[in-house]
Structure 1
Amino acid sequence: MQRYFIPSEQFGEDTVTITGDDARHIGKVMRSKPKDQIIVSDGAGKEAVAELVSIEPQEVQAAIVEFLALSGEPWLEVTIAQSLPKGDKMETVIQKCTEIGASAFVPFLSARTIVQYDERKEEKRAARWRKIAKEAAEQAHRSKIPVMNSPVNWGRLLATAPNYDLVCLCYEKENGEQLRDVLAPFVAGLDRKQKYRMMVVVGPEGGFTEEEVREAEAAGARSVGLGRRILRTETAGMAALTCILYETGEMGGL
């Protein structure tokens, strides 16, 4: 069943209204007809099965059939902090990590970030990222759209470390800890009836400097490796997130 995220104000007591691109998608792409059913969500805790009543190019009306219990969200909220990579790699990170189960994204600038940050283009790029996250969340039957934060510098990123129960910096070093070394005792001590927050920090194409690693560890982050193979910047976050959600039972783990 096709899923759509809509603003909470478009939820009525018994009906929902779908507008814009989603309305066109229902009518022209999916070629839906009245009485077909869809799932609608406000991305913040309200989700329902709705039956299409009327379909116009710019507006679709649907009647709520039943409200659903939320089931598509991991109980461990994982934020992916990604140093801005070249080209469209950030779009790939957002799309795939949203599908896997990331709760939020924080783009950041570090010493070896190659991308030239242009604040004038930021809103256009941010809108593109939000659209990718929304579509990926719909495709993956998520109940929430991940939070897309504005880019920050390295110092501001580290200042947020106390907001998380665990921060892992993806960094390979000789005889260093591996992700599972850190995850196993952390997960074992969690109460699954509560919410916890974790942040995975991924460096740019050139990696982190040793000074940045020292600063991150001083801020409370744990430096972890992701195995014996060196991963690309756009791959590391996906691999780490998959391992984390597996270990917490979200992918058939514990």
Structure 2
Amino acid sequence: MQRYFIPKENWQDNQVIITDDDYHHVVNVMRKQEGNQIICCNPNGQAFYCEINSINEKQVVCNVLEELEENNELPIHVTIAHGLPKGDKLDLIVQKSTELGMGDFVPLQMDRSIVKWDHKKEQKKLLRLKKIAKEASEQSHRSRIPAIQGKQTIHTLLQNQEFDMCLVASEYLTKDQSSQSSFRQAIDKISPGQKILLIIGPEGGLSEEELSFLHEQGCLPIRLGARILRTETAPLYALSALSFYFEEWRCEV
């Protein structure tokens, strides 16, 4: 059943009002009619069966029937902080990472990022990424839409937010680092409910200065398998492994 994420202001008692792009999708794409049912999600992560009560030229009004009992979010909150890559790779990264359970996404301006965002370009890109995350959340039947944060540096990211664990995907070590953990070793230290930050560099990887700073901040360098992954593949590998470990393997042992 098709689901839609409806903003807080469009929930009125036991009714939901659907407008704008969602209205177009309900009426013109899905061809829904009065009496049909859809799923509406609120910003609190709750999902409800709803029945279409009326359709006019600008809005669809639905009656709330009952709340769904579902558990489709990762038991840990994973923030992907990704160095700005070339082209439209961020679109793919956000779309697939959303399907795999990402909690938040932070674009990073890093030393080896070829792409540079000015304010105008950033706002346009963020709007597009938010739209992609919303559509991917609906398609994958999630209860929440990942938050797409504004562009940051690794310094501002670690200053402004707190995480239970910070992981850095890098096949290289600095002179200050004596060892690197396997991803499995890192996962074993994570408990359900924790907030995890995963930092991934752009095409050229992280600079030695960035790796040294992250080491000083207590971030743990990890390797993602035996092969060198493309920048857009790394978050998908990590999220897939976390999903399997916490949602499939751990629930059976």
- Whole-Å Cα distance in 1 between the matches of residues 225 and 57 of structure 2? 50
**Cα deviation, residue 58, structure 1:** 2.3
Question: In the alignment, which residue of structure 2 is the partner of 1:173?
Answer: 172
Tell me how far 1:157 sits from its aligned partner: 2.3
Contact 1:158–1:216 (8 Å) recurs in 2: no
Q: Does residue 114 of structure 1 match 2:114?
A: yes
Asked whether the 8 Å contact 2:19–2:60 carries over to 1, the reply is yes
Post-superposition offset of 1:154:
2.8
2:228: which partner in 1?
230
Alpha-carbon distance in structure 2 between the residues aligned to 1:132 and 1:58: 23
Match status 1:164 vs 2:163: yes
- Residue matched to 2:66: 66
> What percentage of aligned pairs have identical amino acids?
38
What amino acid sits opposite 2:232 in the alignment?
Answer: E
Matched, 1:241 2:212: no
CA deviations 1:189-227 (Å, max 9, x no partner) are x3x4xx210011000000011221111111111000001
Instruction: Note if 1:183 corresponds to 2:212.
Output: no
Residue 244 of structure 1 and its aligned partner are, at CA, apart by 1.6
Alpha-carbon distance, 1:71 to partner: 1.9
Asked whether the 8 Å contact 2:109–2:116 carries over to 1, the reply is no
Q: Which amino acid aligns with 1:176?
A: Q
Aligned AA (2:180): G
The 3-state SS of whatever aligns with 1:152 is coil
Rounded to whole Å, the distance in 2 between the matches of 1:132 and 1:57 is 26
Question: How big is the shift at 1:70?
Answer: 4.7
Counterpart-to-counterpart distance in 1, 2:57 and 2:238:
42
Task: Name the SS for the 1:198 alignment partner.
Answer: strand
After the TM superposition, list the runs of 4 or more consecutive aligned residues in structure 1 that deviate by more than 6 angstroms: none
CA offsets 1:156-185 (integer angstroms, 9 cap, x no match): 123246x1111100001376321112111x
Contact 2:112 2:204 in 1 (8 A): yes
- Taking the aligned partners of 2:139 and 2:24, their CA distance within structure 1 comes to 17
Structure 1 match to 2:54? 54
**Number of matched pairs:** 245
Q: Structure 1, residues 34-93: CA drift from partner, whole Å, max 9, x if none?
A: 111100012323321101122234210111111223522122000000001111101111
Structure 2 unmatched ranges of 5 or more: 174-178
